[in-house]
Amino acid sequence: MALEAGEGNQGQQTDGREQETDSEDELLVVYSGGENGEESGQQKALLPNDHQQPAHPAPQQYTSPRLRAGSFSFSFSTHLLPLSNSLEVVQHSLPTLSATSAIALVVSAQIGSGIFSSPGTLSQNCGSPGESLIVWLLAGILAWTGASSFAELGAAIPVNGGAQAYLNYSFGGWASYLFIWTNLVALKPGSAAIISIVGSEYLCRILYHTAFKASPSESAKAIPLIVTKVVAILILLTISGINGLSVKAGKHVPVILTIIKLLSLVAIIIMALVRLANGQQSDNFLPQNMFKNSSASPSDLAAALYLGLWAFDGWDAGNYVAGELKRASKTLPMVVHSSMGIVVSLTILTNWAYLIVLPLEVVTQSNTIGLEFGRAIFGPIGSFIFSLIVAFSCFGALNSSVFTTSRLVSVAAEERYIPKVFAKINPRTSTPLNALGLQAFLTIVMISFGDFKSLVGFYGTCAWSFYLLTVGSLLLLRIREPDLERPYQTWIINPITFSTVASFLLLMPIFSAPIQSLAAFGFIVSGLPFYYLTTNKELRQIGFPKLKWFNFNGDRRSAGADTTHPLRRDSFEALRPQDDDDDDDDDEDDDDEHTDDHSKS
């Protein structure tokens, strides 16, 4: 694969290891296999390096992993290191991802442990079955408005990288750096901690609830909190150890887990319909009970929205591979709206099914709603089966999270965003043991000091700070660059609604959960000193030379480069496919040309 820089210098990538290029500023192609939460696959990102290399290109053969694949991958890494902020960079990646594959990617990224863990706490915050379903609907609509806004950005700036690319283009390196920093120290460890706790709770209750306790409230009280945390840490250490022993041990997360989750949701909906047809439903939807004891507290509703949005998290997954979508400017909006329609429908119907079968007091007292549902339908064997399905889904998601985050940490260290010691690869196992250790340490800290509800609040504050900033960049670009080509333009009400509600979501937890909120903002802001210390030429000259391992921009600023727009418009205009009547024939010709290029090199 050729990467053009300036006059078209080339860089190659083989087996996930970086190869040097002959450009004035070295470009690296990074492959990070993995999932954010629940996806697996590979993703490309361009990274700047401040070393200079003489011009002596030595083309090497490159075979895209996607071209070798016999079937599409459901997912790709959703949190990656930044696209290069160099003005000279032009990104050229093969547009090999079809609309069907992209829809599968976004659906699998969203449907995860959240649908099996959030309903109980969300219903507890709402107080009534009717209000809880309304909150689920509002969460789905809010996620949809955000996804639609991201679709406009992705169509206008069709490059890989998602939010970090749009932040880099709109605000500059500091915003993109903070996004990466927050992913490394907060979002990735926070997500892994939540998944570990959910898996631990299901695993513990297989024993406590299924074997010993008939009442869910007795089951919840019977399990000491310390036991849940210790089991969660043991699960994390076990999976981290497996990933540390061998590259192959943690590399592939079976797509079958995603299929099982989808089939489980469909089965839950069908079983609820059967119960309803037989007149065996709960009394949650009787007129007098629908909105009984509904909460009117803004902080409770904000917490409930966070829980619903956690279940929908992943709606921006398609934007991270926009550069690889065929006819991205047209395909990405269709992918976004199709996948959101599927996920919102399944999520609302599944929560309706829970409330049809289970009394509200059972729903509100449990973080393991799948176990309760299985027990209500099939007895102890049903709770055992549903618990195993959810637990192993969490294990698979955690395995992917550990695998990809360790590679993210390793590449970040190699690129000097964090100390380079974390880039070291163990010669015996060929795995980044130091990166795995750092990730495990940060995750254990979050497991130790937080529970499911507090961690979701912490994660939500971090994530939605950048969602708000990214959608805000859309409004900024509408004003600052009205002539920017926008093949897809969302209704202006979507980003305005999203930004308004996101601001509310960020403000309310400050009053209801100040510790988690302040901790989240503290994690984000803590990246600013490192950014400014390492990009300020004068500070580096008077005493911070060794902080160059954190350097985000290399020496580009000191060299006098114009960084007003780190991604120039002409760096992605060339990527936008031209529309004609022979798209399919052109795709075949393009594939042949790419194949010839690979064979020649």
Q: Note whether residue 601 is domain-resident.
A: no
Q: Residue 402 contacts by C-beta under 8 Å, 6 or more apart in sequence? A: 192, 236, 239, 240, 243, 250, 436, 439, 440
Residue 371 in this model has a pLDDT that exceeds 50: yes
Reported residue count of the chain is 601
Which band of pLDDT confidence, cut at 50, 70 and 90, is reported for residue 96?
Answer: low
Residue 600, judged by CB atoms within 10 A of its CB (0-12, 13-18, 19+), counts as exposed
Q: Note whether residue 585 is domain-resident.
A: no
For the stretch 141-150, pLDDT in tens is 999 999 999 9
Q: What pLDDT is stored for residue 181 in this prediction?
A: 86
Domain that holds residue 480: 4-579
For the stretch 462-502, pLDDT in tens is 888 999 999 999 999 999 988 888 888 899 999 999 999 98
The amino acid sitting at 470 is T
Residue 30 in this model has a pLDDT that exceeds 70: no
Cα separations (Å) of 342 from 154, 315, 355, 360, 416? Answer: 21, 12, 20, 26, 41
Cα separations (Å) of 313 from 136, 198, 265, 340? Answer: 13, 16, 17, 11
Q: Note whether residue 67 is domain-resident.
A: yes
For the stretch 408-418, pLDDT in tens is 777 677 766 67
Token pair of 259 as six digits: 């299929």
Token pair of 363 as six digits: 């729903």
Residue 99, judged by CB atoms within 10 A of its CB (0-12, 13-18, 19+), counts as middle
Q: What pLDDT is stored for residue 492 in this prediction?
A: 92
Q: What pLDDT is stored for residue 435 in this prediction?
A: 86
Number of other residues whose CB lies within 10 A of the CB of residue 141: 16
d(CA 560, CA 567): 16
Which band of pLDDT confidence, cut at 50, 70 and 90, is reported for residue 318?
Answer: confident
Q: What pLDDT is stored for residue 346 in this prediction?
A: 92
Mean pLDDT of all residues in 359-378 = 87
The most confident of the ranges 247-261, 322-336, 565-579 is 322-336
Q: Note whether residue 402 is domain-resident.
A: yes
Q: What pLDDT is stored for residue 246 in this prediction?
A: 65
Which band of pLDDT confidence, cut at 50, 70 and 90, is reported for residue 577?
Answer: very low
Q: What pLDDT is stored for residue 534 in this prediction?
A: 63
Mean pLDDT of all residues in 498-525 = 83
SS3 sequence of 388-405:
HHHHHHHHHHHHHHHHHH
Q: Which H/E stretch holds residue 369? A: helix 369-378
Q: Note whether residue 589 is domain-resident.
A: no
Higher pLDDT, 316 or 475: 475
Q: What pLDDT is stored for residue 54 in this prediction?
A: 41
For the stretch 6-15, pLDDT in tens is 333 333 344 4
d(CA 551, CA 197): 35
Higher pLDDT, 38 or 443: 443
The amino acid sitting at 29 is V
Q: What pLDDT is stored for residue 499 in this prediction?
A: 93
Residue 161 in this model has a pLDDT that exceeds 70: no
**Considering the chain, what is the average pLDDT of its residues?**
72
Q: Residue 385 contacts by C-beta under 8 Å, 6 or more apart in sequence? A: 374, 378
Q: What pLDDT is stored for residue 105 in this prediction?
A: 72
d(CA 587, CA 307): 42
Number of other residues whose CB lies within 10 A of the CB of residue 215: 12
Mean pLDDT of all residues in 420-436 = 83
d(CA 399, CA 408): 14
Q: What pLDDT is stored for residue 32 in this prediction?
A: 35
d(CA 251, CA 472): 36
Higher pLDDT, 81 or 401: 401
d(CA 195, CA 396): 10
Q: What pLDDT is stored for residue 142 in this prediction?
A: 93
DSSP string, 561-583: ---SSSS-THHHHTTSPPP-TTH
d(CA 436, CA 184): 12
Residue 126 in this model has a pLDDT that exceeds 50: yes
Q: Note whether residue 586 is domain-resident.
A: no
Higher pLDDT, 360 or 38: 360
Residues of the chain with pLDDT > 90, as a percent, come to: 17
Q: What pLDDT is stored for residue 348 in this prediction?
A: 94
Mean pLDDT of all residues in 230-252 = 77
Q: Note whether residue 593 is domain-resident.
A: no
Place of tokens 């690889």: 324
Q: Give 422's DSSP letter.
A: G
Into how many domains does the chain fold? 1
d(CA 332, CA 325): 7
Mean pLDDT of all residues in 70-76 = 32
Nearest to 154 by CA among 334, 29, 323: 323
Q: What pLDDT is stored for residue 566 in this prediction?
A: 43
Residue 237 in this model has a pLDDT that exceeds 50: yes
Mean pLDDT of all residues in 42-54 = 39
Higher pLDDT, 366 or 601: 366
Q: What pLDDT is stored for residue 42 in this prediction?
A: 37
CATH of the domain at 407: 1.20.1740.10
Q: Note whether residue 596 is domain-resident.
A: no
Mean pLDDT of all residues in 157-180 = 82
Mean pLDDT of all residues in 118-146 = 92
Q: Give 212's DSSP letter.
A: I
Cα separations (Å) of 596 from 19, 363, 590, 601? Answer: 21, 59, 10, 9
